[in-house]
Amino acid sequence: MDPEMKKLIEETHALAKDNHDMLRRIRRDQWLGFVGRVIVWAIVLALPLYLYQQYMQPIVARFSSTSTTTTSGMFGIPTSADLQKLINSFKSGQ
């Protein structure tokens, strides 16, 4: 085989090997990026639900348990007497 041809084949082989390595790194980075985005979105969507469950639900439950009576205002809007009862029950710690 001609030495020049052998040199060209070796250079082509080295370029193909480098290209293969770069493509593998690109694919790995894409996969890790995808997994990272899934984890971030899972946190972004689950964190508000968790915080509501831990901190807001007891407060909401307290108000909903005190306001189980039907409202007497028009269209179900509470009257000032209903609001005053709610404020008094909250102040008393029920």
Q: Which residue type, as a one-letter code, is found at position 48? A: P
Q: What is the mean pLDDT of residues 63-74?
A: 62
Question: Number of folded domains in the chain?
Answer: 1
- pLDDT for 32 equals 97
Compute the distance between CA of residue 42 and CA of residue 37 in angstroms, rounded to an integer: 8
pLDDT bin (cut points 50, 70, 90) of residue 68 is low
Comparison of pLDDT for 87 and 72, the residue scoring more: 87
Structure tokens at 63: 């108000």
- pLDDT for 72 equals 64
Judged against a pLDDT cut of 60, whether residue 70 lies above it is answered with no
Question: Nearest to residue 66, comparing CAs of 37, 91, 39, 38?
Answer: 91
Compute the distance between CA of residue 58 and CA of residue 51 in angstroms, rounded to an integer: 11
**What is the domain extent for residue 16?**
3-92
- pLDDT for 69 equals 55
Structure tokens at 11: 């250079």
Judged against a pLDDT cut of 70, whether residue 71 lies above it is answered with no
Contact residues for 67 (Cβ-Cβ < 8 A; gap 6+)? 78, 82, 86
pLDDT tens, 14-53? 999 999 999 999 999 999 999 999 999 999 999 999 998 8
